[in-house]
Amino acid sequence: MTDIQAPAVRTNQTDPAVAAPAQIKMTARDVNVFYGANHAIKDVSIDVDMENVTAFIGPSGCGKSTFLRTLNRMNDTISIAKVTGDITLDGEDIYSSDMDVVQLRARVGMVFQKPNPFPKSIYENVAYGPRIHGLAPARRDMDQIVESALRRAGLWEEVKDRLSDSGTALSGGQQQRLCIARAIAVDPEVILMDEPCSALDPIATAKIEELIHALRGKYAIVIVTHNMQQAARVSQKTAFFHLGHLVEYGETSEIFTNPRQERTKDYITGRYG
């Protein structure tokens, strides 16, 4: 690897630098996003696959978060946002009238930049999704879902004795893992992460990165980050966005060692951004 890569947190069995053979989960073709008169995303086409973690990098305001939010239609909540182009999940058009946004978001979960646990107990935070989607008919099933989600998010050992404490009382890193557990609890197929570590300290960040390694392969994961070292550490595929364009998309190792585009090279060598 190059000198760009910081001392990485490597705990995983799979070598994170090597992309696995791809089974395509989501595709985007010629996607444009407008916020009123502002053309935020310009003709972006990309495939997201099941086996790899995909990182979106780029300078602030390049549209990476905006594009991420088109993948589970979170832009719907912004009245002036308009999305054109095709985005599919397992071949189904997610913007077609047949696609129910409630079901879409159950299949494509999201973790936000700032940990945003609900002002409820830890248990209720995780049970929120299963409850609204009716996944657990009995109390016992719910207990099981909550426990397994917390285990997979690496939080179970820390909170198992205080599940009834408020989720907002946890530390920032724990809150973010709680939000990941909350997303996992509805058993999604894709997890979108919007700069999940930007509000966390380095130790909490390392834990989240470990968690992303552990979740790889079980879910298609897309992570937006402004931290290039993080992209290099956690992802196998990297997409570089600039001024609303997708400049370059490829295997992470390629992008960081041998970028094809001049702009990508300038960005990853710290010329701007």
User: What is the Cα–Cα distance from 20 to 162, expressed in whole angstroms?
Assistant: 39
17 touches 252 (CB < 8 A) = yes
**Pick from 20, 35, 120, 215: which binds other proteins (CB under 8 A)?**
120
- Helix and strand numbers (H, E) in the chain are 10, 10
With vertex at residue 30, the alpha carbon angle to CA 102 and CA 230, rounded to the nearest 5 degrees, is 75
Stretch that binds other proteins, among 45-53, 89-97, 101-109, 239-247 (CB under 8 A): 101-109
The smaller minimum CB distance to other proteins, of residues 182 and 233, is found at 182
Q: Minimum CB separation from other proteins for residue 124, in Å?
A: 9
Polymer length of the chain: 273
Query: Which of 186, 200, 212, 223 is close enough to bind other proteins by CB under 8 A?
Result: 186
Strands 53-57 and 38-49: unpaired
Segment 43 to 72, residues that bind other proteins, using CB under 8 A: 72
What strands lie across the sheet with 92-93, from one edge to the other? Answer: 38-49, 24-35, 81-89, 92-93
Binding residue (CB under 8 A) for other proteins from 9, 17, 81, 104: 104
Member of 114, 151, 263, 265 binding other proteins (CB under 8 A): 114
Site size for other proteins (CB under 8 A): 28
Round the CA-based radius of gyration of the chain to a whole number and report it: 18
**Which positions touch other proteins (CB under 8 A)?**
72, 74, 77, 79, 101-106, 109-110, 112, 114, 116-120, 128-129, 132-133, 168, 179, 182-183, 186
